[in-house]
Amino acid sequence: MEHKMRTVNTPVIKKDAKALVTGKPVYTDDLAPKDSLIVKILRSPHAHALIKSIDTTRAEAAEGIICVLTYKDVPNKRFTMAGQTYPEPSPYDRLILDQRLRFVGDAVAIIAGESERAVEHAMRFIKVEYEVLEPVLDIHKAKDGDILVHPEDNWKSLCPVGADNKRNLCASGIDEDGDVDEIISGCDYVVEEVYHTKANQQAMMETFQAFTYLDSYGRLNVVASTQIPFHTRRILAHALDIPKSQVRVIKPRIGGGFGAKQTVVAEVYAAIVTMKTGKPAKMIYTRYESQIASSPRHEMEIKVRIGADKNGLIQAIDVYTLSNTGAFGEHGPTTVGLSGHKSIPLYGRAKAFRFAYDVVYTNHMSAGAYRGYGATQGLFAVESAVNELAAKLHMDPVVLREKNMVQEGDVMPAYYGETLNSCALDRCMARAKEMIDWDKKFPYVDMGNGKVRSVGVAMAMQGSAISNVDVASVEIRLNDDGFYTLLIGASDMGTGCDTTLSQVAADCLECDLDEIVVHGTDTDVSPYDSGSYASSTMYLTGMAVVKACEEIRGKIVKKASEYLNCDKETLEFDGKRVFQPEGNLEISLKDIGNQIMCCNDDTISAGATHTSNVSPPPFMVGMAEIELDKETGTVEMVDYVAVVDCGTTVNPNLARVQTEGGIAQGIGMALYEEISYTEKGQLRENSFMQYKLPTRMDVGDIRVEFESSYEPTGPFGAKSIGEIVINTPSPAIANAVANASGVYVRTLPITAEKIYQGMKNK
């Protein structure tokens, strides 16, 4: 049936807004039992070492200490902390505690006690003798190097991703179409450059948190700030070597995730303490721990070659990505693919492409998932190279893109051969150009006071869920008085999906939003959902909601036909009542809801599962206006305009704040957020004093608009919004800096020093 949009595409307020703004206890740490044991980790001071001996007797005897665990006390069964569909592409390369330590901050021992003070005090009494080994700290020396990060024999890779621990490879591969070398050799203009992005921190407000307890049936209950409750259940069962049926995972409100919580960073430590002691336990990461031992973005060095003819038509694109997965392989094989597959297809006229990659192990903190997930790194490189190509051609970079951009109906060889069913990229570009007044401001305006204002541009694409892999399910029930309960397995992590999915249900069922009660994720109750990641929630789970609502509508009409004693084909349902358009029989939904509670053979509930064999990309154009001080190289953000095509916007307010937030994060990545290590492998930026996050004052004006397209495979024509929004700031700002100063900064962040040195060297 055709649905009229009543709630979809309207800016309704989030269902949990009141609880959040009034400070109700809704987060993991708020809910933990008061008598939980406090769990902390003794962390390695060395980037690479073996534990020769470890003595915990004094620590165990200390007051208030309940247990101290070392590598001898945990299962010797390798697993991955990456929350991915089974079999996971990420290698099984971790133990809960290991004799070999692989980065500064790696777990040496787990201590649990009655108070934080007792645990921190006892930690000093643990005596460890280390055999310090030489670390692998240079990504260029990791592949086939002499030092192995994972020499162990029980390392294993479940999927054919080109991984080989004996070569320090977490993944490697190549994908191509056409003869890139031959085509580029015949091009009039070629750009060949190397770009470098750092291991940014997600820096969500709520750190990694989990508490665990045994219920009255002796099952392990885990309450965690996680994007992936069902994967967490599997990962913990693997790591603890217990049946999955013995684990229950509950997700309360999450204070931000941005991908960090697609990895099981904290849960396993509390869980093993509960398993060993039988007592409730909680693991709350400090901000310091979140900086030095979490799951940041993968550092990538990307080499790009682009060839064009004299008219600026791009003929071929060649991308090689070297990705640093760090000490463990979480998300290593999967993030790297996006660096090529979500950047190269933007240029739909190219005759050939090649995309090759290596993901290497090093003795740095291991990486993970972060909004944009590899596309962010790849788009910085490819979009910067396209901007450099425009400069070589003496062409406006907007015009160059207009000539080359992918269009609706195109087949995309570099995007798994998918056909593009919905694309408003051309309209996004035209609108962004108008919004920022591009023609007046490009390439720069001299302000006459030693300062220059300039503009820069970038495009981006992402996906909507992982095609042929991700699964979303929902269940919906009719209750007495005719209201509904909607059970979803996807995790609302502040994105508002509890609200937006209810909007979809309310439109399908033609009822008010308040008549849909949402139940958050609990693996014992919720239907299976692979989790909130890969921009999948609205596109995939939204479609499952549409299917479930269709089914329950049919059941409501069928039940009404029994109560009215007539043929169901003669009846219609308008959300409030089932009635005969041609006759005078009718019954209200409220009456049906109440009657089925008494003498009834049918449940009026529906469950639906949805998966997709395509992953339609949302698109975005970002344009930055900056002011650059020529004497110092200092950059200030003036204006950022973004126009996004996410299909139909289900909730324009939530889509807008998602976009504004993603752009602010992207500006941080572009200008401020630096990650550096000492020669011993210690991370320098271990607090927010050193790791500079932009405030509202640093990001300038951010202006967002939407250009809608209609995606036939999405609910009400919707595509995703979550990740696309972070991808344009770095290349757009780098372009603006180049237009102002003539200096291309190819290693992020773009600092005053780099610009000043570049101007001096010119």
The predicted-structure confidence for 417-472, as pLDDT tens digits, reads as follows 999 999 999 999 999 999 999 999 999 999 999 999 999 999 999 999 999 999 99
pLDDT average, residue stretch 533-542: 94
- Asked whether the predicted pLDDT for residue 101 surpasses 70, the reply is yes
**Percent of the chain clearing pLDDT 90 (strictly above):** 97
Strand-pairing partners, residue 587, are 578
Buried-state track 314-325, b at ≥16 Cβ within 10 A, e below 16: bbbbbbbbbbbb
Task: Give the lowest-confidence range in 81-90, 240-249, 495-504.
Answer: 495-504
**pLDDT tens-digit map of 496-530:** 999 999 999 999 999 999 999 998 899 999 999 99
Give the other-Cβ count within 10 Å of 243's Cβ.
9
Task: Give 3's pLDDT tier (boundaries 50, 70, 90).
Answer: low
Helix axes 652-671 and 729-741, enclosed angle (nearest 10): 50
User: Do 78 and 155 contact (CB within 8 A), yes or no?
Assistant: yes
- Please report, for residues 139, 156, 478, 561, 586, the alpha-carbon distance to residue 578 in angstroms, rounded to integers and kept in the order given: 66, 58, 14, 9, 6
**DSSP for residue 424:** -
- Residue 510 has a pLDDT of 97
Residue 749: asked if its preceding bond is cis (omega within 30°), the reply is yes
**pLDDT tens-digit map of 11-45:** 899 988 888 889 999 999 999 999 999 999 999 99
User: Do 722 and 535 contact (CB within 8 A), yes or no?
Assistant: yes
Task: Give the lowest-confidence range in 15-29, 259-273, 442-456, 724-738.
Answer: 15-29
**pLDDT tens-digit map of 654-691:** 999 999 999 999 999 999 999 999 999 999 999 999 99
| DSSP H helices in 1-50 | 17-21, 28-31
- Asked whether the predicted pLDDT for residue 363 surpasses 90, the reply is yes
Give the other-Cβ count within 10 Å of 214's Cβ.
16
- Residue 538 has a pLDDT of 94
Task: Give 56's pLDDT tier (boundaries 50, 70, 90).
Answer: very high
pLDDT average, residue stretch 266-270: 98
Give the other-Cβ count within 10 Å of 306's Cβ.
26
pLDDT average, residue stretch 165-188: 98
- Residue 98 has a pLDDT of 98
Task: Give 490's pLDDT tier (boundaries 50, 70, 90).
Answer: very high
Q: Tokens 């980790």 — which residue?
A: 41
- Asked whether the predicted pLDDT for residue 2 surpasses 60, the reply is no
pLDDT average, residue stretch 616-639: 98
**DSSP for residue 10:** S
Question: Going edge to edge, which strands form the sheet with 605-610?
Answer: 516-519, 484-488, 472-478, 605-610
User: Do 71 and 98 contact (CB within 8 A), yes or no?
Assistant: yes
Cβ burial of 450 (10 Å; 0-12, 13-18, 19+) is exposed
* Beta strands at 451-461 and 619-629: parallel, antiparallel or unpaired: antiparallel
Tokens of 728: 């344009």
Residue 228, classed as helix, strand or coil, is coil
In Å, how far from its chain's centre is CA 746? 24
Q: How far apart are the first and last CA of the chain?
A: 65
Tally: H helices and E strands in the chain: 20, 29
402: nearest Cα among 383, 432, 430: 430
- Residue 1 has a pLDDT of 47
User: Do 711 and 614 contact (CB within 8 A), yes or no?
Assistant: no
pLDDT average, residue stretch 276-294: 98
Phi, psi of 119 (to 5 degrees): -70, -45
**pLDDT tens-digit map of 749-762:** 999 999 999 999 98
**pLDDT tens-digit map of 313-344:** 999 999 999 999 999 999 999 999 999 999 99
Nearest-angstrom CA–CA distance, 145 and 149: 10
503: nearest Cα among 538, 551, 540: 538
**Percent of the chain clearing pLDDT 70 (strictly above):** 99
pLDDT average, residue stretch 261-277: 98
- Please report, for residues 310, 495, 639, 642, 723, the alpha-carbon distance to residue 661 in angstroms, rounded to integers and kept in the order given: 39, 11, 15, 12, 11
Q: Which residues contact 140 (CB under 8 A, 6 or more apart)?
A: 322
CA dihedral 258→320→443→445, nearest 10 degrees, is 50
